[in-house]
């Protein structure tokens, strides 16, 4: 008797669940993409520093949307190379000051329509990554960067990779969820150097 | 053997269910705790006054506003939105329909009616009060947005595609954050809103009093807040894109009894 009730309940639950359609991230066709882009232009308004050109897809967004974030290598490789070419490496050292890097990693400000364009923005790194063991409020959308330099080395190649990754993450993984901080002008050269130091200076808390 | 196998599977299922219930009850305890100190009812009461208040060039109240179940019928109306409205020939959610009624029944211009859509803790907006009142009349009604009209179906499909669309200065889609189970921004857990189990409890409690803002917030505000963080321009209030999002989320949450207006962190 009990079992029959249980089974009936399970069946009812299943029937109720069947109401909502199953959703998958599917590739967009060119026509669908054109429709969506037109709808965004129609239904959004420029406000403050957030101008309408931000809704204009570039080659990277286009490839990722047309391939549901998983483009074939033949599409991804040349676009990654083009993104790599956008990275402007500074003359001189790539490591700035890890202390100011720590503040930039903490701050999630900048580039929003309600914010002043000239107020300094942050990288919002802690929104998605674990970095210093002292900061326990960290997000998990991106990989943990705890002890980054200690485990991956402090050498010039790593420095160049980290600077480049923060400047334009799409150069290394076309549909990465990480913003292109340097490429979009969201962080300055000095800020990216400071963040690079936060990850790669042996005295930074990230490496303690 | 067969019986053992079966009861084993049944027990496993029961154990799973029990674990789920324990996790749920912790969440519900928190919800209950914050809800006890929540001023949601006050917003509903002010909203009722505004619903009945004569305003605009036509000096009319909103009492004859048709939210989809006939003029002035409020019970269960919010739970059945968004839906297609023939008189406007488009899909509308609660806020969009309220704006429509302000313009048609009260004769107010769009400019006047949208002058101050989002308030603050010192002065909430008319729309926030009204949304609280209207939504409160749907408590206990199962979410059942319109899904039969071709424009309703198109709205859902459109919202679904938008959910995964990478756009804006930082290349985000909704799924960049709300795409994988068990992820967090800082310490905030991120619901995967294209899955019913996550969408149901959330959509069933918007609009809501938001403790971190010390005021009442609407669904349109919540959607705007996500886009602000995605570094896009601002969505137009009541636009098709916003309604499509809301349609997608509400269809995903359908069947859940409406339990709002809620209280959020």
Quick: pLDDT tens for B240-257.
999 999 999 999 999 999
pLDDT > 70? residue A16 = no
Question: With a cut of 0.85, is the ipTM above it?
Answer: yes
Q: Is A22 on the interface with B (CB under 8 A)?
A: no
pLDDT of residue B18: 44
Check: CB of residue B134 under 8 Å from CB of residue B100.
no
Chain B residue closest to A130 (CA)? B186
Which segment of A109-123, A159-173, B147-161 scores lowest on mean pLDDT? A109-123
Considering only CB atoms, A179 lies closest to which of B162, B164, B170, namely B170
Helices A59-66 and A30-43 pack at an angle, to 10 degrees, of 120
Q: Which residues in chain B touch residue A111, judged by CB atoms under 8 angstroms apart?
A: 169-170, 231
Chain A residue closest to B225 (CA)? A112
In this predicted model, what pLDDT tens digit does every residue of B150-204 receive, in sequence order?
Answer: 999 999 999 999 999 999 999 999 999 999 999 999 999 999 999 999 999 999 9
Mean pLDDT, chain B, rounded, equals: 90
Question: Could you say which residues from 223 to 242 on chain B have a Cβ atom under 8 Å away from some Cβ of chain A?
Answer: 228-229, 231-236, 239-242
In this predicted model, what pLDDT tens digit does every residue of A118-158 receive, in sequence order?
Answer: 888 999 999 999 999 999 999 999 999 999 999 999 999 99
What CA–CA distance (Å, rounded) separates A79 from B140?
52
CB contact under 8 A, A45 and B242: no
pLDDT of residue B28: 62
Q: Is residue B207 a part of any domain in this protein?
A: yes
Q: Is residue B13 a part of any domain in this protein?
A: no
CATH code, B174? 1.10.760.10
* Overall domain count for chain B: 1
pLDDT > 90? residue A19 = no
Q: Is residue B11 a part of any domain in this protein?
A: no
Token duo for residue A1:
């008797």
Domain boundaries, chain A: 98-207
In this predicted model, what pLDDT tens digit does every residue of B211-223 receive, in sequence order?
Answer: 889 999 999 999 9
pLDDT > 60? residue B99 = yes
pLDDT of residue A176: 98
Q: How far is A88 from chain B (nearest CA, A)?
A: 18
Considering only CB atoms, B234 lies closest to which of A47, A57, A186, namely A47
By DSSP bridging, strand B208-210 and strand B215-217 are antiparallel
Q: Which residues in chain A touch residue B181, judged by CB atoms under 8 angstroms apart?
A: none
Residue of higher predicted confidence among B35 and B64: B64
Check: CB of residue A187 under 8 Å from CB of residue A123.
yes
Mean pLDDT, chain A, rounded, equals: 93
B130: containing domain: 27-141+149-264
The pLDDT of A176-182, averaged and rounded, is: 98
Q: Is residue B241 a part of any domain in this protein?
A: yes
pLDDT of residue A198: 98
Phi-psi region of A58 (alpha: psi -120 to 50; beta: other; left: phi over 0): beta
What's phi and psi for B209, nearest 5 deg?
-80, 125
Nearest CA to A186 out of A141, A138, A119, A130 is that of: A119
Chain B residue closest to A48 (CA)? B233
Per the annotation, the verdict on B101 as an active-site residue is no
What CA–CA distance (Å, rounded) separates A182 from B108?
46
Q: Is residue B21 a part of any domain in this protein?
A: no
| Residue in the block written with tokens 């967090």 | B184
Model confidence at B24, pLDDT cuts 50, 70, 90, reads low
What CA–CA distance (Å, rounded) separates A163 from B126?
48
Model confidence at B39, pLDDT cuts 50, 70, 90, reads confident
Q: Name the catalytic one among B11, B65, B101, B226.
A: B226
Considering only CB atoms, B232 lies closest to which of A54, A127, A184, namely A54
Q: Which CATH class is domain A98-207?
A: mainly alpha
Residue of higher predicted confidence among B1 and A44: A44
Q: Is residue B216 a part of any domain in this protein?
A: yes
Model confidence at A4, pLDDT cuts 50, 70, 90, reads low
The pLDDT of A160-179, averaged and rounded, is: 98
Nearest CA to A59 out of A41, A33, A88, A24 is that of: A33
pLDDT of residue A86: 98
Token duo for residue A9:
């309940």
What CA–CA distance (Å, rounded) separates A145 from A205?
12
pLDDT of residue A20: 81
Beta bridge partners of B215: B210
């Amino acid at each position: 008797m009990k079992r029959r009730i249980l089974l009936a309940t399970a069946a009812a639950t299943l029937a109720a669940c069947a109401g909502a359609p199953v959703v998958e991230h599917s590739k967009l066709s060119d026509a669908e993409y054109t429709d969506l882009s037109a709808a965004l232009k129609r239904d959004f308004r420029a406000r403050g520093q957030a101008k309408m050109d931000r809704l204009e897809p570039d080659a990277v967004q286009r490839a990722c949307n047309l391939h549901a974030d998983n483009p074939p290598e033949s599409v991804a490789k040349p676009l990654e190379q083009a993104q790599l070419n956008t990275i402007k490496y500074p003359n001189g050292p790539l490591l700035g000051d890890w202390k100011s890097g720590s503040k930039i990693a903490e701050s999630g400000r900048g580039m929003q329509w309600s914010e002043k364009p000239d107020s300094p923005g942050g990288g919002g790194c802690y929104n998605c990554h674990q970095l210093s063991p002292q900061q326990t409020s960290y997000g998990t959308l991106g990989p943990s960067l705890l002890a980054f330099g200690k485990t991956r080395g402090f050498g010039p190649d790593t420095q160049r990779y980290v600077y480049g990754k923060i400047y334009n993450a799409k150069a290394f993984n076309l549909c990465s969820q990480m913003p292109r901080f340097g490429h979009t002008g969201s962080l300055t050269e000095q800020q990216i150097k400071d963040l690079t130091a936060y990850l790669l200076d042996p005295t930074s808390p990230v490496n303690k | 053997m067969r019986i053992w196998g079966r009861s084993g599977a049944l027990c496993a299922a029961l154990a799973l269910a029990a674990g789920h219930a324990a996790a749920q009850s912790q969440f519900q305890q928190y919800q209950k705790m914050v809800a006890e100190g929540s001023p949601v009812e006050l917003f509903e009461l002010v909203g009722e006054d505004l619903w009945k208040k004569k305003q605009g060039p036509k000096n009319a109240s909103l009492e004859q506003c048709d939210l989809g179940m006939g003029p002035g019928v409020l019970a269960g109306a919010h739970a059945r939105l968004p839906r297609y409205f023939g008189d406007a020939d488009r899909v509308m959610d609660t806020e969009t329909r309220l704006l429509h009624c302000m313009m048609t029944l009260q004769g107010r211009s769009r400019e006047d009616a949208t002058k101050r859509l989002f308030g603050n803790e010192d002065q909430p907006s008319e729309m926030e009060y009204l949304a609280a009142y209207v939504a409160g009349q749907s408590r206990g009604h199962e979410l059942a947005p319109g899904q039969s009209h071709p424009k309703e179906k198109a709205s859902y499909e459109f919202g679904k595609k938008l959910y995964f669309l990478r756009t804006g200065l930082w290349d985000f889609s909704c799924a960049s954050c709300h795409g994988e189970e068990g992820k967090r921004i800082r310490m905030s857990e991120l619901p995967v809103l294209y899955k019913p189990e996550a969408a149901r409890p959330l959509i069933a409690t918007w609009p809501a009093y938001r403790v971190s803002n010390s005021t009442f917030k609407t669904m349109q505000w919540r959607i705007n807040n996500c886009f602000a963080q995605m570094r896009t321009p601002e969505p137009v209030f009541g636009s098709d894109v916003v309604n499509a999002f809301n349609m997608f989320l509400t269809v995903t949450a359908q069947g859940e009894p409406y339990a709002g207006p809620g209280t959020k962190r």
